Amino acid sequence: MKPRDMPIRELIEKLKEEHAALPGIIDDAVITYKTGNLSGAFPVIAEVRETLSQHIIDEEGTLLKFLIEKIGKGSSEPYIKILQDHPKIMKLVEQSVESTYTGWTETETDLNLLKEALANHHKQEEEELYPKVISLL
């Protein structure tokens, strides 16, 4: 995967759309599991993994690169810290995928932790990272 080739303003709008959509997708996985369709939830979680993988590449490969070019690495540190949540978030995604093989109890917990981590992370991005990038355009 590589960063999407689009203007930064459009990319940020796309990333915000994904922020808004991901909680619903995770809820769909929870609902699917609660109906007893364990195998049906796997593709939903795989969609979350795919979306987040591309999302992270866009933020790190386009937005962070842009920030560092414009204001330097030192001044970009607060935004780098925000993006350092990405490995933790992807670990939760992978735990969710793995737990689909072990049973609902673990998967529900993992998905709820993922949803909470994403909410906090997305808030930081939308309140700090994205406005900073836009201010430098």
d(CA 86, CA 137): 24
- Say what the pLDDT of residue 103 is: 63
- Say what the pLDDT of residue 99 is: 76
- Say what the pLDDT of residue 105 is: 65
- Say what the pLDDT of residue 109 is: 82
Q: Which segments of the chain have a pLDDT < 70?
A: 38, 102-105
d(CA 20, CA 134): 19
Contact call for residues 54 and 66 (beta carbons, < 8 A): no
What does each C-alpha distance from 105 to 46, 96, 99, 101, 110 come to in angstroms? 18, 11, 9, 11, 9
**Taking the model in full, what pTM does it have?**
0.91
- Say what the pLDDT of residue 65 is: 97
How many other CB atoms are found less than 10 A from the CB of residue 59? 23
17-50 pLDDT tens trace:
999 999 999 998 888 877 877 677 778 888 899 9
Tokens at 128, concatenated: 């700090």
- Say what the pLDDT of residue 110 is: 82
- Say what the pLDDT of residue 5 is: 96
